[in-house]
Amino acid sequence: MDTLIQEFPQIRNGFYTTVWLLLFSGLISTVIGTVLASFRVSPVASLRALGTGYVNTFRNTPLVLVLALAISVIPTLGFNNLGFSIGIRDFTTFFTVAMLGLSFYTAAFVCEAIRSGVNSVSAGQAEAARSVGMGFGQSLRLVVLPQAFRAVIPPLTSIYIALAKNTSVVAIFGVPEAAYVMRKLSNQFTSDLWAIFIGIALGYVVIVMVISAIGTLLERKLAVAA
Amino acid sequence: MRFTKTKAVIAAVGLSLSLAACGGDGGETDVEVADNPEFEAGSTMAELSESGEIVIGVKYDQPGIGFLEPGADAPKGFDIEMGRILAAGLGIEDDGIEWKETVSDNREPYLQNGTVDIVIASYSITDERRQVVGQAGPYYVTGQQLLVREEDKEKITTPEDTEGLKVCSVTGSTSLQRMVDEYGADPVPFSTYSECVDQLLNGTVDAVTTDGAILLGYAAENPDELEVVGEPFSEERYGVGFEKGDTAMCEYITETLQTAMDDGTWAEAFEATLGESGVETPEPPTMDSCA
């Protein structure tokens, strides 16, 4: 237990990195995933093929492989200075690459969840939108997607929870986040293993609880009488 | 007889080729295999000598120390040479040695459950480890150092210079922790040293840190691009792991290695492996007594 209290600043810093990773990747993957989903339901065959190809590639590849590939290939292409900073916080190249890897991977799942939502909106809605003169983009943006998002909140929540836990993989790809701090501490304080594992696990539990709370809140807020 | 001659020719050709290629292949030292050595009946040495076979746990991913080249049948390196010396003293030919890959986490279990007979795998002697396994030696003393790109060798020479720089090592390792806690470096954790070296070569990290011996091996692989800088700032004493309590084994290991140190075989082994990076052959270390 002493280790947790004594090393709290390190653990807190590790979780800061985890949360930043989660926020950035969550945002980017949602944007990419939504665009991909609109590709997959679009009337243009080549866009549909592109969306399907993307989902098949990234959903079928283990995350470790995606990250390993990104981290060993991107710097060799000459991009070894992708770090950026927001305010006083600096993010390294490894953070950026890991964030992109996580985003591209998660986007495939987001895309499928949103597509399932789009398909759950009855065809009559899109037909009605068309009959009042809306084009494909307009009907998707103004009529179908708003209804679809309501249906996809539970699956999206699960995807973000999975993303939160997936961030722990980057501990071996140059990003010192919470799982890295755990391995570091467990090596350093062998006698306090249980406390370290449970302490770090609790940190993840808190993050996941926040995500599901937001999910539940949105679900309640957007619910409509059937 | 003819077999040995062919082998010698191949070795000689291989050696000259590797010299021509300036590094790359680690040469093999000439180790004289003992002819029917005598050991006390019932001892581990007698058993091994009798069977003509020994299983040695080594690293496969540390150039210069224990490294299996892609496509090669047997690993090469300083640890491997030590293993050959110890096997030869038992009258075991190279064919009788089974190399088994060990990683840092499974060295103790492998010794405890008998998967390997001895471990020679950049295995630092510590009091904590000596409570669960036996460790003879040290046969080599190294310390934490820094590996940097050739163009940075003037800029980064001491650990203090790494403050705020990106330093890579293995996730959870004590070397990386020391850089962060004591010298204020930015930690970049990876799962293997070779990934760290890749990131160093492509310019994403500023330095790689771990035991100097391991870094020397990587420097030897890329002599024009990488350089080990500064003095060691910790002490790691590599020992040979054996089953805890086997004092006779400890004595055998210590005596055999002492002989190799005295007659120059140790130095020869060093020159053919770690020495390829251009570092001078050090004085052999003084080994602990077994009692």
pLDDT tens-digit series, residues A65-118: 999 988 888 888 877 778 888 877 888 889 999 999 999 999 999 999 999 999
Report domain extents, chain A. 21-176
- B55 in any annotated domain: yes
DSSP character string of A52-77: HHHHHHHHTS-HHHHHHHHHHHTGGG
Of A80, A94, A186, the CB nearest to B188: A94
pLDDT at B279 over 80: no
Residue B88 has pLDDT above 60, yes or no: yes
Q: Which DSSP letter does residue B124 get?
A: B
Give yes or no: residues B52 and B183 share one domain.
no
Is the backbone of residue A89 left (phi > 0), alpha (psi -120 to 50) or beta? beta
pLDDT above 80 (res B12)? no
Place of tokens 């746990």: B57
Domain count, chain B: 2
Residue B222 is part of which domain span? 144-229
Q: So what's the pLDDT on residue B127?
A: 82
ipTM above 0.90, yes or no: no
Q: How many CB atoms lie within 10 A of CB B71?
A: 5
Kindly state whether B171 is in contact with chain A, defined as any CB-CB distance less than 8 angstroms.
yes
User: Are B40 and B105 in the same domain?
Assistant: yes
More confident site: A186 or A213: A213
* Tens digits of residue pLDDT in B144-179: 999 999 999 899 999 999 999 999 998 877 788 889
Cβ-defined contact of A172 to B203 (cutoff 8 Å): no
* Nearby residues of A106 by Cβ (< 8 Å), 6 or more positions away: A25, A26, A29, A33, A159, A162, A163, A166
Give domain status of residue B130, yes or no: yes
* Within a domain: B10: no
CATH T-level topology, domain A21-176: MetI-like fold (1.10.3720)
- Mean pLDDT across the stretch A132-151? 89
How far is it between the farthest Cα atoms of chain B?
61
Confidence of residue B107 (pLDDT cuts 50, 70, 90): confident
Task: Tell me which of B229, B248, B264 is where a domain ends.
Answer: B229
Question: Which pLDDT score is estimated for B8?
Answer: 55
Q: Check which CATH number belongs to the domain holding B166 and give it.
A: 3.40.190.10
Query: What tens digit of pLDDT does each residue of A120-141 get?
Result: 998 899 899 999 999 888 988 8
Same domain, B174 and B57: no
Q: B23-52: per-residue pLDDT in tens?
A: 333 346 778 788 778 888 888 999 999 899
Q: Under an 8 A CB cutoff, do B171 and A76 touch?
A: no
In a domain, B168, yes or no: yes
B74 and B135 assigned to the same domain? yes
Mark which of B200, B229, B258 sits at the end of a domain: B229
Please give the interface size between A and B, counted as residue pairs whose CB atoms are below 8 Å apart.
54
Same domain, B100 and B60: yes
Cβ–Cβ < 8 Å for B120, B101? no
**CB contact, 8 Å: B202 with chain A?**
yes
pLDDT number for residue B17: 46
